[in-house]
Structure 1
Amino acid sequence: MAAFGPRKAQRLARADGSRKGGLDERAAPVVRLLNGQSRFCTTSSCSGRLVLVQGRAADADSFEIQKKGCIWLLVTHEPCSRSEVMTALEKATGDVVLKFEPFVLHVLCQELQDAQLLHSVAVNSGFRNSGITVGKGGKIMVAVRSTHCLEVPLSHRGKLMVSEEYIEFLIHVANQKMEENIRRIDRFFKCLELALKNSVSANNSLEKPEKHCPVYLHRRKRKTIQQQGVHPPPRGPPSEELEPEDDVENSLDIFAEIMI
Structure 2
Amino acid sequence: MDRSAEFGRWKAQCLSKADLSRKGSVDADVVELVQLLNAREEFFTTSSCAGRVLLLDGGVNGFEVQKQNCCWLLVTHTPCIKDDVMVALKKANGDATLKFEPFVLHVQCRQLQDAQILHSVAIDSGFRNSGITVGKRGKIMMAVRSTHGLEVPLTHKGILMVTEEYIDFLLNIANQKMEENKKRIERFYNCLQHALERETATSHSKIHEKNKPSYTHKKKRDPEKVHGKSVSEENDKELENVDDDDDDIGINIPIFPREF
TM-score range, shorter chain: 0.7 to 0.9
Indicate yes or no: 2:151 matched with 1:148.
no
Q: Which has the larger radius of gyration?
A: 2
Alignment RMSD, CA only? 2.1
How far 1:68 moved relative to its partner? 3.4
How far 1:212 moved relative to its partner? 8.7
Superposition pairs of residues 89-238 of structure 1, within 5 angstroms: 89-209=89-209, 219=217
If each structure's strand is expressed as a fraction of its own residues, which one has the higher value?
2
How far 1:66 moved relative to its partner? 3.8
3-state SS of 2:72 partner: strand
1:63–1:156 CA contact under 8 A, matched in 2? no
Distance in 2, matches of 1:70 and 1:207, equals 55
Number of the residue aligned with 1:234 = none
3-state SS of 1:75 partner: strand
Number of the residue aligned with 1:37 = 40
3-state SS of 1:45 partner: strand
Aligned length: 218
How far 1:73 moved relative to its partner? 0.6
Change (3 A) 1:31 1:64: closer
Change (3 A) 1:93 1:13: same
Number of the residue aligned with 1:247 = none
Number of the residue aligned with 1:20 = 23
How far 1:6 moved relative to its partner? 1.2
How far 1:65 moved relative to its partner? 3.8
Number of the residue aligned with 1:48 = 51
Distance in 2, matches of 1:210 and 1:202, equals 12
Instruction: Give the aligned residue type for 1:51.
Output: L
Structure 2, gaps ≥5 residues long = 222-260
Q: TM-score, normalised by structure 2?
A: 0.78
**Any idea what the Cα deviations from partners look like across 1:110-162, whole Å, max 9, x if unmatched?**
00000000000000000000000001111100000000100000000110001
Distance in 2, matches of 1:210 and 1:136, equals 34
Q: TM-score, normalised by structure 1?
A: 0.78
Distance in 2, matches of 1:194 and 1:97, equals 40
Number of the residue aligned with 1:245 = none
1:63–1:95 CA contact under 8 A, matched in 2? no
Distance in 2, matches of 1:81 and 1:130, equals 30
**Any idea what the Cα deviations from partners look like across 1:8-35, whole Å, max 9, x if unmatched?**
0011001111001111011111110000
**Any idea what the Cα deviations from partners look like across 1:79-130, whole Å, max 9, x if unmatched?**
1111111111121111100000000000000000000000000000000000
Percent pairwise identity: 58
**Any idea what the Cα deviations from partners look like across 1:218-252, whole Å, max 9, x if unmatched?**
94xx87xx79xxxxxxxxxxxxxxxxxxxxxxxxx
Change (3 A) 1:165 1:136: same
Distance in 1, matches of 2:112 and 2:89, equals 46
Distance in 2, matches of 1:90 and 1:20, equals 23
3-state SS of 1:69 partner: strand
